[in-house]
Homo-oligomer: A and B are copies of this chain.
Amino acid sequence: MRKVRTFSSDIDLVKERRSHIVKTAVELIVKKGYNHTSTRELAAALGMSTGGLYHYIGSKDDILYLIINFTSDLTQSLLDNCTKCNNGSITQHFTECIRLYLTGVEQYRDLHNFINHVMLSLSVNDRRIVYENESRIVAYLEKVLTEGVKKGEFRAHDCKCLAHNVVAIANAWANRGWYLKRYYTIDSYIKEQTGALLTLLTGASDPVHVTAR
């Protein structure tokens, strides 16, 4: 992770304030675009003076790095939660991973869209952090799927490709929400996608319908 300068020595306070800065910055930037958002406006939206904001960041670009670091935290917390729920069948575990992942995307849709939007403006190193997050999620799902095949719960498939498809489906909920929200809630979307994946994985003679949790 990239280090962002602060003048405060209270680590917990800095963490809490930065999480607030990330949330507010993303909202503002998604509405106005990064180039059209000034630190002055951001400070105003945060109810801080510009000087107050510079207490927690070194420059406007630091906001970008705060946001990128924040997505790494989210990925870690998702993977921790997925590991915690690995206590039933692999089908149950996989189903729960998808639910955790997609509800997380729904909760941070603005953030996902923002990252997507600034991707081409990021340095190669910063892009790598974002890539790394997605790769970790793919790797985790691939491991679950491969285990399912080994134990005979799932049919043999290209597990890497299916794991990647889960990420594609999750990104689609963020990027194509304008379209999907006309037809699905996040719950019905999860249900539909999980059902399709399990039908494919188990080779069920009738399409699998996942019951909402």
Contact = CB atoms under 8 A, between A and B. Distances in A.
B162 A196 contact: yes
A184 B162 CA distance: 13
A158 interface: yes
A178 B179 CA distance: 26
A57 B151 CA distance: 61
A164 B176 contact: yes
Given A117-B120, A205-B203, A171 B175 contact: yes
A113 interface: yes
A66 interface: no
| Interface hub of A119, A121, A161, A200 (most chain B Cβ within 10 A) | A161
Contacts of A150: none
Contact of A168 (B33, B155, B176, B183): B176
Given A172-B167, A207-B156, A178 B131 contact: yes
26 contacts: A33-B120, A33-B121, A35-B35, A113-B120, A116-B116, A116-B117, A116-B175, A117-B120, A131-B178, A131-B179, A134-B176, A155-B206, A156-B207, A158-B192, A160-B183, A161-B192, A161-B193, A165-B168, A165-B172, A165-B196, A168-B168, A171-B171, A171-B175, A196-B200, A200-B200, A203-B205
A105 interface: no
A24 B121 CA distance: 19
A101 to B, nearest CB: 14
A159 to B, nearest CB: 11
Given A33-B121, A196-B200, 11 more contacts: A113-B120, A116-B175, A117-B120, A138-B179, A161-B193, A164-B172, A165-B172, A165-B193, A167-B172, A167-B176, A171-B171
